[in-house]
Structure formats: C-alpha cells, structure tokens
Amino acid sequence: MWITLLRAKLHRATVTDANIQYTGSISIDTNLLETSGMMAYEKVLVVDVENGQRFETYIIPAKAGSGAIQVNGAAARLVSIGDHVIIMAFAGVELPAPSDWKPRVVLLDAANHPTGLAAEDPGED
C-alpha cells in the first residue's frame, strides 16, 4: 500500500503577479525551487491564506533571484497580487513509511526570500 506524504513546502510565499492570459501553471523563482527541492513541471497544491482558495497546478521555473511567485491561467482568478500562499509538493511512499520522514519546509519573508527551514509539526504554526 502507498500513502501520499508532504515532501516540500514554501510557507507564506507572496504572490508577485497573476496572469490570466498565460496557458497555466505557477511560476516560481528557480532559487526557491532549489532551496525547497521542488522541480520544474512538478504537480503542487497551492493554498491562498487570505481567501482559502485551493488549487492544483504544475511548476514552471522563473528567473533565479527574482522572488517570483506568479499564478497563471485560470488559477490567476483565485488569487490577488500580495496574497500569501502555501505551495506544497507531495510524494507517494510505500508503507511502512520511513520513521524519520520530514518534509523540507522553507519559511519565506514578504519579498519571498528564505528566512529558514522548519520541521513540519502538527502542533506548530
């Protein structure tokens, strides 16, 4: 049996742009992809902290160092520039899951610069 576990998370990224005319996806600064371990074309779940909207899409890389978090296509209607989003990537893991499984959680400031890493803990916020 397989289960799906959180693998990586960008916590409280700030939406820098929303482009309804783009063909779809979420553009993420390449440096943030490297720091989080996420990769181009990976499926992600995005949650908007301000309005509660949730949607799935895939990642396309944005210019390194740009701080870009750009929501594209139809999903651009679900966010506003300046909203905070949580971007999560998952992995299928065969049971029994490793007892030491820990997702890579990257904490971000208002300019989408990493401020540190956090262990995902259900009691933490």
Catalytic-role residue among 22, 27, 41, 58: 58
Contacts of 11 (CB under 8 A, 6+ apart): 86, 105, 106, 107, 108, 118
Q: Given 22, 25, 27, 36, which residue is catalytic? A: 25
Report CA Rg, the chain.
Answer: 14
State the virtual CA torsion across 17, 15, 90, 53 in degrees, nearest 10: -100
25 is catalytic: yes
Residue 41 known to be catalytic: no
Could you give the residue numbers annotated as active site? 25, 58
